[in-house]
């Protein structure tokens, strides 16, 4: 269902009325398209603290944006990257303010502010306090910056010019390249107020950054419609051979999606005890990307929830993910360098009335990711991450009562609902072959929802 309020406030009368009444004024977001694949304007590279992250300038040069290093050089930057990896004292935090204070109002609509920090050091409480302060700063700036602009914090494992920590020769800036390319592009339009931890890993750049999944096989569950179809389409755009999985009852829609993408349709109930074995048989060459997207809702308050409503949601949304993941890893059906991306939800992070079953299942996905990620990487060379969508415009949310739907749309920093492609683009970044240093992350795709952290 179209967001008529967003359209109305995009007109002159709508803007006037919204200002007079103090109503939200969401801005139309710049999402990726072949016609507008990059942000509109230059990138401003600033530094707070010393030293800065070595190699960062070269990485930023690969974003497709013209990189400037002086605030006076760009009256309307499309993006600002503030390297605060060298900020280790409370006094140095003043440099964060000094760097962004003069430029934050000038960032173009649908622009980006990315702050680079380092992991808080458990053995240095002063450094930990200062670097943690950056998280509060970023989350707050995201809530006030407006005009479709987003703010994110990327924590790297590196230090700086005094000695970059490396893993197999890969500098921290290089390990973060796929993340920075994503965040500094229209692909991240609905990701804001997030903290992304980029670890240490040997990272090899793809031959073609526009088709990074060429030659790779991806399986997407729940692919017949909605978010799953958008994920399959986006992975295919990036070069993957896509296997689209959904229940037999959705076989017609599933075949249509797979046919449009030159992919393969696999009609299968993911809750079947032998689902893992059947997937292994369907992909004899193994999988490079596994996207757990299939999910259902059966909403009721707990006092009114029958046992079958509880068990069906937990079985589809969580138990089937555990079973199939374990089966595929045990069968070595996920190739080294593979990616597992599961779909959580902000309901699993913040809770939601009438969704104790759904929230439990999605919180379970968060637990799965945090526990499995280090072991899967160490034992199988596979990363495990999750996306956590907020209010996404789908047929399901279109059926939500009007006032609840409007509240879901407006209760985030961007003042609007997301689109299935927003979840898909985030999934594609986590599935990227150069995203090997991103592991164990749960990234909210929610426009910085005002619910939860």
Q: What angle do CA 61, 65, 68 make, to 5 degrees?
A: 75
* Cα–Cα distance, 336 to 287 (Å, whole number): 9
CB-based contacts of 237, cutoff 8 Å, min separation 6: none
Provide, for the chain, the percentages of residues in helix, strand and coil under a 3-state DSSP scheme, each rounded to the nearest 5: 40, 20, 40
| 5 a catalytic residue | no
Strand partners, 443: 387
* Cα–Cα distance, 296 to 263 (Å, whole number): 24
Pull the structure tokens for residue 92. Answer: 């140095």
User: What are the CA-CA distances from residue 338 to residues 81, 127, 388 (Å)?
Assistant: 29, 34, 20
Nearest to 113 by CA among 91, 96, 88, 95: 96
What single DSSP character describes residue 14? H
Annotated catalytic residue, options 358, 392, 419, 423: 358
CB-based contacts of 4, cutoff 8 Å, min separation 6: none
CB-based contacts of 13, cutoff 8 Å, min separation 6: none
Angle between helix 320-330 and helix 356-380 axes, rounded to 10 deg: 10
Pull the structure tokens for residue 32. Answer: 């990726």
Contact 440, 344 (CB under 8 A): no
Q: Which residues are catalytic?
A: 358
């Amino acid at each position: 269902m179209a967001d008529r309020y967003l359209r109305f406030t995009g007109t002159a009368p709508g803007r006037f009325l919204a200002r007079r009444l103090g109503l939200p004024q969401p801005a139309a977001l710049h999402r990726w398209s072949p016609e507008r694949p990059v942000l509109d304007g230059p990138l401003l590279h600033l530094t707070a603290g010393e030293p800065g992250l070595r190699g960062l300038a070269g990485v930023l040069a690969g974003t497709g944006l013209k990189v400037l290093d002086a605030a006076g050089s760009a009256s309307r930057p499309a993006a600002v990257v503030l390297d605060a990896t060298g900020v280790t004292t409370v006094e140095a935090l003043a440099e964060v303010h000094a760097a962004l204070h003069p430029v934050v109002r000038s960032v173009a609509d649908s622009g980006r502010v990315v702050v680079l920090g380092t992991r808080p050091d458990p053995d240095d409480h002063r450094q930990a306090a200062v670097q943690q302060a950056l998280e509060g700063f970023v989350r707050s700036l995201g809530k006030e910056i407006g005009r479709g602009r987003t703010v994110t914090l990327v924590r790297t494992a590196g230090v700086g010019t005094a000695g970059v920590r490396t893993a197999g020769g890969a500098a921290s800036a290089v390990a973060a390249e796929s993340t920075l390319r994503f965040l500094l592009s229209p692909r991240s339009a609905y990701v804001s107020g997030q903290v992304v931890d980029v670890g240490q890993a040997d990272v090899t750049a793809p031959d073609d950054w526009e088709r990074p999944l060429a030659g790779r096989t991806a399986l997407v569950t729940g692919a017949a419609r909605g978010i799953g179809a958008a994920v399959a389409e986006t992975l295919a755009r990036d070069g993957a051979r896509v296997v689209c999985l959904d229940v037999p009852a959705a076989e017609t829609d599933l075949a249509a999606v797979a046919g449009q993408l030159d992919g393969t349709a696999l009609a299968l109930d993911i809750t079947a005890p032998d689902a893992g074995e059947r997937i292994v048989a369907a992909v004899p060459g193994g999988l490079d990307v596994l996207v757990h997207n299939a999910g259902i809702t059966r909403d009721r308050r707990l006092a009114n929830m029958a046992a079958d409503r509880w068990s069906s949601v937990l079985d589809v949304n969580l138990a089937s993910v555990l079973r199939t993941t374990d089966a595929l890893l045990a069968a070595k059906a996920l190739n080294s360098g593979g990616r597992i991306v599961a779909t959580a939800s902000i309901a699993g992070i913040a809770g939601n009335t009438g969704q104790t079953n759904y929230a439990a299942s999605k919180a379970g996905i968060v637990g799965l990711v945090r526990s499995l990620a280090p072991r899967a990487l160490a034992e199988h060379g596979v990363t495990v991450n999750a996306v956590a969508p907020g209010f996404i415009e789908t047929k399901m949310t279109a059926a939500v009562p009007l006032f609840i739907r409007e509240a879901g749309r407006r209760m985030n920093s961007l003042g609007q609902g997301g689109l299935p492609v927003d979840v898909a683009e985030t999934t594609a970044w986590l599935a990227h072959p150069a995203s090997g240093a991103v592991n164990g992350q749960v990234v909210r795709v929610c426009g910085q929802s005002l619910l939860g952290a």
